[in-house]
């Protein structure tokens, strides 16, 4: 069975992004978070989506219509592993 695996770091990243967006007064934060999570399921069906980051087999994906997040992931044997969720304006290349 194919599945989306979230690293602890990616889970923390998503929570931090959510808190940041709430602090900016953004009204529909939950919709942003939901779109990010849904995008990971799209990647499960399209594991080659998005360009490589230069650190094979890692890839990055910005969900269509989503200006807040970059999903850093890699295809794994039974699906994908979400490695990081970074704010699109942050230095998403930093770290593993």
Domain ranges of the chain: 3-87
pLDDT of residue 96: 47
The reported pTM is 0.86
Sign of the Cα torsion 45, 50, 52, 58 reads: negative
Angstrom CA distances, 15 to 8, 33, 36, 57, 85, stand at 11, 9, 12, 25, 9
User: For residues 73 and 58, is the Cβ–Cβ distance under 8 A?
Assistant: yes
3-state secondary structure of 6: strand
Mean per-residue pLDDT of the chain: 88
| DSSP H or E segment with residue 42 | helix 29-45
Q: Please indicate whether residue 87 or residue 89 has the higher confidence score (pLDDT).
A: 87
CATH superfamily of 3-87: RelE-like (3.30.2310.20)
User: For residues 40 and 25, is the Cβ–Cβ distance under 8 A?
Assistant: no
């Amino acid at each position: 069975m194919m599945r989306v695996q979230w690293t602890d770091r990616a889970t923390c990243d998503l929570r931090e992004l959510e808190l940041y967006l709430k602090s900016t007064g953004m009204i529909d934060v939950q919709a942003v978070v939901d779109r990010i999570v849904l995008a990971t399921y799209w990647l499960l069906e399209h594991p080659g989506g998005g360009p490589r980051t230069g650190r094979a087999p890692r890839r990055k994906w910005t969900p269509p219509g989503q200006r807040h997040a970059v999903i850093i992931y890699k295809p794994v044997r039974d699906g994908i592993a979400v490695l990081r969720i970074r704010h699109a304006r942050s230095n998403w290349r930093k770290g593993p």
